[in-house]
Structure 1
Amino acid sequence: MIKIIMSKILIIYVDIDDDLGKIGVDTPAIGEEKVKKAIEIASETIPTDSDFNTMVVAYNIYKKLRKENNNVEIAFISGSEKSNVESQIDFAKKLDKAIEITNAEEAIIVYDSPEDAKAIPIIQSKLKVIGIERVIVEQYRGVEETYVLLGRYIRKAISDPRFARIFLGVPGIILIIIGIFSLLNLTIYATPAILIVVGLALLVRGLRIDEYIEQWWENSTIMVIAAIISIISTIIGIVEGYYVGITIKVYDVSSVFEILTVILPFIVFAVVVLFGAKAISKVMNKDIKVWHDIFRIISIIIIYYMIVLISKNFEENIIGVQLQTMYTLSIITMVLVSLYVVFSIIEKRLT
């Protein structure tokens, strides 16, 4: 039993992945007439879907509260078919519009799926939530109904970009790997390769790395391209270091430096590419702090050459040159730190 209060209550049906948009319903749909029209369209297009049942439940709650003389309004609000973050941003914008139109102060949330539950914190940040109703639709377990339900999920897995990446993308990569390894008579390596692909897919999806990359791409395409180049460079460096390492029979300080000098150029290149891309992004945004990244690039290159010089001295076992190199490295470090402090002071004064 919901307590009768005088403040404006907004009944919100949450559709975070914009299933309403797929059937031609624009949101936010505010008010009884628009809501009834949306339910009518849903009854014709998705009559067996849980979304339709949830819409009806939200409307029934609205009618019940209005009959009890509550100050109540109803709205169907959706997000978008994009990534989780963008969908939530779209939902928040539409929610702001609904609040502005209705002048609501409190909310009752009606939803049906865990994905829709992501909208709850957004609503709580803008309205006082006095009720939450999750609609769980029971399904018949007969053979025919099971096939219908299975077909619906398969169709969603194929048509929805978020699910298609996993259900189509990963099997596609696996089939390509099997085909290529079969042509090259390397089927013995196919199983490890498939396990790596599946493991990476689970890791990427489980940690939502794909969403972060997508968001990062939209915010800064240059940085994503630079990150890909850096990862490739790092992998090549590790492989090169591995092949050098397996040829070494006795491991000592000089052999470690030998492996390091092989890997280090690739690592330095990867880091320089990242900082260079960041500097380009700042130049495009007219950010005065671009000098930070330029300074880092110069410092990394100088330190790299000093490490290479030290490693050569260790290989030749020249003690005097080693001491001179360490002295030079110390001087360069102090100069770089001093320059950084000076530039930081200048930046503060300019800003």
Structure 2
Amino acid sequence: MKTAIIYIDIDDDLSKAGVSTPVIGEAKAREAIEKSSRFLALDSDFNTMVTAFNIYLDMKANGEDVEIVFVAGSQRGGLDSQMALSKQVDEVIRAIKPDQAILVYDSPEDAKAIPVIESRLKIVGIERVIVEQHRGVEETYILLGKYLKRLVTESRYSRLFLGVPGIILFVSSILAIAGLTAYVLPSILLVLGGAMLVRGFGIDDAIERWWENSTIMVIVAILSSISLVLAIINGYLVASTAGPLSIRSASSTLLAILPYLTFSIIILYSGKLLSRALSKDIRIWHDLLKILASILAYFVLTGLLRNLESGAYIIQIQSFYLLLLSSFILIATYFVLSNFEKNRLRSQ
């Protein structure tokens, strides 16, 4: 049975040494170790790499059918690392067709790759390398400096450890200059809470993946969110000056909100329509009908609210007929296009 000795570098430190992964075979592994010795000699990754290579040499000397492999993830971390590593594992399997694997890694972060590999290969051994260090005062400072450097240079850490404090200092300075020092502490708590919420639920990773998959939808989502915020602000301003709660004041408030709300909905559907148009998706008409329905609803509701605002509580016959006719046309169009879509998909 062929065994793959797999060294795991899920945060892709090998790329810093100029090593392209996956590394397959003894010759390429030696070359990778030589390159890494210049850049990662003090890193535990280098020791782990050498350990994996030594395991390979020992098993080869015993006459076993083995191959050495180095795989890496991504410096972005999270799901990106696991997905990148997954692709490399698939590439390794296609190249050498191993029956089983022995995994060699050093950090708990690397251990996240184990289920990924286990779903593809039988794992017969796992070796975790723990590098012993003499932690004197000087070594502690060196180690601390190394990790501080990583906090500054690696984006996945710098966003949290530099970005959030930077926002706090910036906002606090602005508030202090404006003489609003009473709001400094609430602002700090707001920023910290927001950062914890975003990082805790992986919202930043989700947005990043969303951006990579559909830049158009991210842009329209931002515009839609801005429009919703404006709707809330405008509605609040109108409501605060409209007097006591009544049908007229409620109608005025809704009339102030409705244009922004409609724009928010329409721009979302428009973004989806544009995405489908670029990908030549036949279902583009779904979004077109939704846009038309939103516009129709806007005009009907606007007319109704204006009547209520002016004290006319009876729906005009013309408005009713317009709503009925437009709804009938939209529904009929939906059924016609739906049948056309089904027939076309069947013909394909």
Shorter-chain-normalised TM-score: which range?
Answer: 0.7 to 0.9
1:186 aligns with 2:172: no
Structure 1 segment 2-13 matched on structure 2, within 5 A: 7-13=1-7
1:198 aligns with 2:188: no
1:287 aligns with 2:293: no
Post-superposition shift, 1:72?
1.7
1:246 counterpart residue number: 240
1:132 counterpart residue number: 126
Q: 1:300 aligns with which of 286, 290, 294?
A: 294
DSSP-derived class of the 1:233 partner: helix
Post-superposition shift, 1:268?
1.4
Post-superposition shift, 1:249?
4.4
Q: 2:112 aligns with which of 105, 110, 118?
A: 118
Summarize the Cα distance change of 1:341–1:8 in structure 2 as closer, same or farther, 3 Å threshold: same
Post-superposition shift, 1:83?
5.9
Post-superposition shift, 1:12?
0.8
CA contact (8 A) 1:83 1:211 kept: no
DSSP-derived class of the 2:241 partner: coil
DSSP-derived class of the 2:19 partner: coil
1:222 counterpart residue number: 216
TM-score of the two chains, using structure 1 as the length reference: 0.87
C-alpha separation in 1, matches of 2:242 and 2:135: 65
1:338 counterpart residue number: 332
Post-superposition shift, 1:323?
8.0
Post-superposition shift, 1:19?
0.3
Summarize the Cα distance change of 1:76–1:247 in structure 2 as closer, same or farther, 3 Å threshold: same
1:169 aligns with 2:166: no
Structure 1 segment 259-270 matched on structure 2, within 5 A: 259-270=253-264
Segments of structure 2 that go 5 or more residues without pairing to the other structure are none
C-alpha separation in 2, matches of 1:323 and 1:115: 68
Post-superposition shift, 1:75?
0.6
Post-superposition shift, 1:191?
2.6
1:33 aligns with 2:27: yes
2:231 counterpart residue number: 237
CA contact (8 A) 1:314 1:322 kept: no
Amino acid at match of 1:268: T
1:4 counterpart residue number: none
1:348 aligns with 2:342: yes
CA contact (8 A) 2:16 2:39 kept: no
CA contact (8 A) 1:15 1:111 kept: yes
DSSP-derived class of the 1:320 partner: coil
Aligned-residue sequence identity (percent) comes to: 47
1:51 aligns with 2:41: no
The Cα RMSD (Å) is 2.6
DSSP-derived class of the 2:280 partner: coil
Segments of structure 1 that go 5 or more residues without pairing to the other structure are 1-6
**How many residues are matched?**
345
Range with bigger deviation, 206-215 or 131-140: 131-140
Post-superposition shift, 1:82?
4.2
1:114-139, Cα deviation, whole Å (9 max, x unpaired): 43233333323332223333334455
DSSP-derived class of the 1:39 partner: helix
C-alpha separation in 2, matches of 1:300 and 1:134: 59
CA contact (8 A) 1:282 1:290 kept: yes
CA contact (8 A) 1:17 1:79 kept: yes
2:93 counterpart residue number: 99
C-alpha separation in 2, matches of 1:274 and 1:292: 13
CA contact (8 A) 1:261 1:311 kept: yes
Summarize the Cα distance change of 1:137–1:328 in structure 2 as closer, same or farther, 3 Å threshold: farther
Post-superposition shift, 1:155?
0.5
Post-superposition shift, 1:227?
1.4
1:71 aligns with 2:68: no
Summarize the Cα distance change of 1:182–1:103 in structure 2 as closer, same or farther, 3 Å threshold: same
CA contact (8 A) 2:11 2:77 kept: no
Summarize the Cα distance change of 1:139–1:331 in structure 2 as closer, same or farther, 3 Å threshold: farther
CA contact (8 A) 1:78 1:94 kept: yes
TM-score of the two chains, using structure 2 as the length reference: 0.88
Post-superposition shift, 1:22?
0.2
